[in-house]
Amino acid sequence: MEPPQCRAGANRGRRLRLLLRHLKPTAVSTSAQIYADSPPAKFCYTLDRGVLSSEQRLFYEKNGFLLIKKLVSDEDLDRIRKEFERICKKEVSISGLIVMRDVSLVKSEYIAEETSVSKIQDFMEDEELFRYCRLPQILKYVEGFTGPNIMAMHTMLINKPPDTGKMTSRHPLHQDLHYFPFRPANLIVCAWTAMEHVDRNNGCLVVLPGTHTGPLKQHDYPAWEGGINKMYHGIQDYDPSLPRVHLVMEKGDTVFFHPLLIHGSGTNRTEGFRKAISCHYASSDCDYIDVRGTSQENIENEVKQIVANRYEGITVAFKDVWRFKGRLVQGERIKL
């Protein structure tokens, strides 16, 4: 449905072949053997902006993600954590912010603290949190995927709660592009930063390397016995034989990943709230698309319904929701 837009010219192909002759595969702790396979014939998923090394580009081209260790400082993450606590305690009120509670707790009594919040979304009006989206060391990498004109389109701070026993802390396998009415996919990238050590015990990210080269798949609510969080659509028919990689990360480590990469996150079996902050960036040169008649129609309808409930009967076009949310963080706002 959505073939990768590779427009590498003959010259670029020749240069790449020369380059490949001189490159040795780099061992990456999470997936060394995945990279060891044959490299791609041309670069489709990264740009020549002089910011990504050849090894980094090849790794992303092949796998659809790139993990950079210690990209965000403890100091920055501690500031983010403090602001998150202030929001949970309702010491600040931020316009546009969505506060979510885990589906297993929504009907219980409201507690104004961090332990009742599973995720906050759309923090673009909170300067202290939005600082994350503007961090120069993150934007430097983002430019290697989106080019110089960069919009921050979607923001989240995920506070994955200890599982209540119903397995609702899981996030089903999905592709983020399902949520986005803009293209091309290759000019969109997510930055996801661990705010503390994450591994399989507290529900780290799980990725299916290489799936960014496939099409956007149909997403629906999984029929999970214990319930499923609002809008946590998942892919029902994915190939179970595909290798899954659990991304073990330390505080400040940041993974950049393609919006077609199939990923999810597992059960949090610890007592702690597993924290991560993320921003989806897109080139401001992307175009909005009409998702009517496509697999994305279900999410469009759901978003419109949420907006109508929140703002008393107001109908807003799906693309206008995104036009309103998006913020320019570098360069010039062109089409988004």
Ligand X SMILES: Nc1ncnc2c1ncn2[C@@H]1O[C@H](COP(=O)(O)OP(=O)(O)OP(=O)(O)O)[C@@H](O)[C@H]1O
Ligand Y SMILES: CC(C)CC(=O)SCCNC(=O)CCNC(=O)[C@H](O)C(C)(C)COP(=O)(O)OP(=O)(O)OC[C@H]1O[C@@H](n2cnc3c(N)ncnc32)[C@H](O)[C@@H]1OP(=O)(O)O
Ligand Z SMILES: O=C(O)CCC(=O)C(=O)O
CA distance 62 to 55: 11
What residue is closest to ligand X based on CB?
266
Residues 228-287 that bind ligand Z (CB under 6 A): 263, 265, 276
Q: How many positions of this chain bind ligand X (CB under 6 A)?
A: 11
Compute the least distance from the CB of residue 251 to ligand Z, in Å.
Answer: 15
* Residue window 265-304: x/- pattern of binding to ligand X, with contact defined by CB under 6 A: xxx-------------------------------------
Residues 250-289 that bind Fe ion (CB under 5 A): none
The owner of tokens 């109508």 is: 308
H or E stretch including 206? strand 205-207
23 vs 98, which CB is nearer to ligand Y? 98
Tokens at residue 150, please?
């960069």
C-beta atoms surrounding 97 within 10 Å: 17
Compute the least distance from the CB of residue 119 to ligand Z, in Å.
Answer: 7
Residue from 245, 255, 216, 277 nearest 60 by CA:
255
Partner interacting with residue 306 (select from Fe ion, ligand Y, ligand X, none; CB below 5-8 Å by kind): ligand Y
CA distance 270 to 124: 30
CA distance 322 to 107: 30
Query: Applying CB under 6 A, which of residues 80, 139, 153, 158 lies at the interface with ligand Z?
Result: 158
Buried b (16+ CB within 10 A) or exposed e, 232-254: bbbbeebeeeeeebbbbbebbbb
Query: Applying CB under 6 A, which of residues 206, 262, 282, 329 lies at the interface with ligand X?
Result: 206
Residues 147-186 that bind Fe ion (CB under 5 A): 176
**Does 240 participate in binding ligand X (rule CB under 6 A)?**
yes
Which residue ranges make up the site for ligand X (CB under 6 A)?
170, 172-173, 200, 206, 240, 246, 264-267
